[in-house]
Structure 1
């Protein structure tokens, strides 16, 4: 059999590429290398601007040209790094040589030895990952999550007064409204989004074992912890003063756990919407030209939500593994984090793909109010809770002598269907005040929703 031309192994880089393009700009190998170039260049600019080791501040034009190496990072730089790494067999060393080449082109060979000065590869890598993950979360993933929350909020408001039969344990239960149920998910997701938004992206810049040993030998009088803090925070990151060779990755574990938590809430949303579609509460809008089944022409399958379920599970599997693995490093350094972190984009990519499917799926459903009403009208027995609760209040107030109202309603309703007339006849015969009887006779499954509509305002 003839071998295929080179193909993407992951569907994120093939079938689903369009849905996750934004992440690739940050979490690909090229995105990581661009961030590495940025860190190396900014360290050079910091050292020279502070006249370290007899250097002089660069001119504005020189600074701009150096920063352009990262700002304009593209295919030529990607190709050159591949050439350099083929020789160095070391990705960060290749980046150092690329920066040195730019210095040579600018006639700045005199400061070439300040490139990667006193830095271990992990000093560059940890800052680069913090920059790329921060950008991926705040510019791509979090806005998509908030778009889904926004759609849920809009539908919660639209359907706030649409009563529906609730189903606890899958059985008919006290009615609610569709809007309130969607508001629950919006509220849950907004809490996690706020937690993700508060993520601290930590960075270290303290040498081979986190002691500034080489730095102190180079300049015993410099306040290296202060310098490190200034440099790390200048990149928009939080400074971690106590590390081994690596930044401890605790912030990453916290972040991936939160994203995984969001995934599981979204999974719950997807399965609930799928179930509402199955019950007929939501009707799906067929996409023009789309096929639901290869053999059953009538089918409109809830594929958006099924696709989301699977991708959320994949995402959480990867992110949970990252969170568990990254917090451990043998003694002062091992390389388990190196290959692991290259899969951050995979974990976030499957989550982003799921968000895209959920957003599209929510835009392709419409509430069947007639079916909701019919379902409620077929389940008058759910008012048993209301009747026995009001009887308890009447007994406590001395307006009724009924004993064990719960047992009374259980006998009437458990495992049985009761219609409007049967329930009205039962209420009429109860030992209750006229006001209480009137309140119960006016109650219907459609109106027995408490303050469900008003609860939507808590969004």
Structure 2
């Protein structure tokens, strides 16, 4: 360019970390904002779509693997949407810090070379001009705390998504979701009937790998001996790998959600086979009636425990039991109209809370 007079100003008063920390911050910021977050939003959009579609789809819940108070599939998906969105907000609001203050963060070379310059202001203006948050107090390196915060939030997001994968896998195994055959796909080399939930299994593996990498970065990058050691240099070369595994998982979950459909028939059968779950409703209503002075039944919980624990009861069994209860007529009528598929409380309403 014919400006040899500027050669000596190249890398003026800088340490390599002055360059590298800004480069990493810009690279990670752009990767998160331009690639990772848009993929996450695509996933959340699909989840919201399914949650809305299945908001009223009553299903038997399972606590400890055993039949429990019903919910709806839409509400259960909404739980994951809410959890994931909380982490997304943390990530969206995160800071990307940068420093530009020399060999030990003191501007020593800057000041001795040009004492009349306001170096802290020049540094702040330069760093913020790159769209980063200026870190005024560092050693030779930017302290990487913002990276630890970001990677911790991403690993938590990954962990929640991993939980979604294991739940969807379980619902498929139970027949609650049926898998839509993909033309040309093979589920087994010897069992031609099989359709395996490979999207969710693949996602689980990639989420675990992502968390191993990002979790390691979050815990190690915050430590640097005295004013600088070189451990972070090797570690940071794996940032892209950690996000890459997360992206693979997000894409697989999104594809997997597009390849399943709810089996309302199976949900209905499961509910009809488990009338004993209404024991909770009955004992709670009796207790309310006792408190209101409309019943004198003693220990309603024990009464329903004796009736239902470890047993399969039919609708007729439960109706006959309710009919002989000494409770108010309004409460009795309420219980007599209750069915496993209607005992879902506010589940449908709750499912709608995650819709935009």
- Per the TM superposition, whether the score is higher than 0.5 is yes
- Structure 1: tracts of 5 or more residues without a match: 1-105
Residue 457 (structure 1) aligns with: 352
5 Å matches for 1:99-138?
Answer: 106-138=1-33
Residue 244 (str. 1) matches residue 139 (str. 2) = yes
The separation in 2 between residues aligned to 1:412 and 1:108, in whole angstroms, is 92
The separation in 2 between residues aligned to 1:157 and 1:109, in whole angstroms, is 65
The separation in 2 between residues aligned to 1:109 and 1:186, in whole angstroms, is 58
Residue 287 (structure 1) aligns with: 182
5 Å matches for 1:61-80?
Answer: none
Given that residues 55 and 352 in structure 2 are in contact (C-alpha distance below 8 angstroms), is that contact kept between their aligned partners in structure 1? Answer: no
Q: Which residue, 154, 162, 170 being the options, matches 1:267?
A: 162
Say what the alpha-carbon RMSD is for the aligned residues. 0.6
Given that residues 141 and 227 in structure 2 are in contact (C-alpha distance below 8 angstroms), is that contact kept between their aligned partners in structure 1? Answer: yes
Which is higher, the Rg of structure 1 or of structure 2? 1
Residue 278 (structure 1) aligns with: 173
Given that residues 206 and 228 in structure 1 are in contact (C-alpha distance below 8 angstroms), is that contact kept between their aligned partners in structure 2? Answer: yes
The separation in 1 between residues aligned to 2:270 and 2:102, in whole angstroms, is 67
Superposition TM-score, scaled by structure 1 size: 0.77
Aligned length: 354
- Structure 2: tracts of 5 or more residues without a match: none
Following TM superposition, where does structure 1 have runs of at least 4 consecutive aligned residues deviating by more than 2 angstroms?
A: none
Given that residues 146 and 193 in structure 1 are in contact (C-alpha distance below 8 angstroms), is that contact kept between their aligned partners in structure 2? Answer: no
5 Å matches for 1:215-230?
Answer: 215-230=110-125
Secondary structure, counterpart of 1:342 in structure 2: helix
CA offset digits 1:392-411 (Å, max 9, x no partner): 01011111110000000000
Superposition TM-score, scaled by structure 2 size: 0.99
The separation in 1 between residues aligned to 2:228 and 2:262, in whole angstroms, is 56
The separation in 2 between residues aligned to 1:338 and 1:177, in whole angstroms, is 49
Higher relative CO (CA 8 A, sep ≥ 6), structure 1 or 2?
A: 2
The separation in 2 between residues aligned to 1:358 and 1:108, in whole angstroms, is 54
Give the drift of 1:262. Answer: 0.2
Residue 212 (structure 2) aligns with: 317
The separation in 1 between residues aligned to 2:86 and 2:2, in whole angstroms, is 52
The separation in 2 between residues aligned to 1:235 and 1:113, in whole angstroms, is 23
Residue 231 (str. 1) matches residue 126 (str. 2) = yes
Give the drift of 1:440. Answer: 0.5
Given that residues 130 and 201 in structure 1 are in contact (C-alpha distance below 8 angstroms), is that contact kept between their aligned partners in structure 2? Answer: yes
CA offset digits 1:424-443 (Å, max 9, x no partner): 00000110111111110100
Secondary structure, counterpart of 2:23 in structure 1: helix
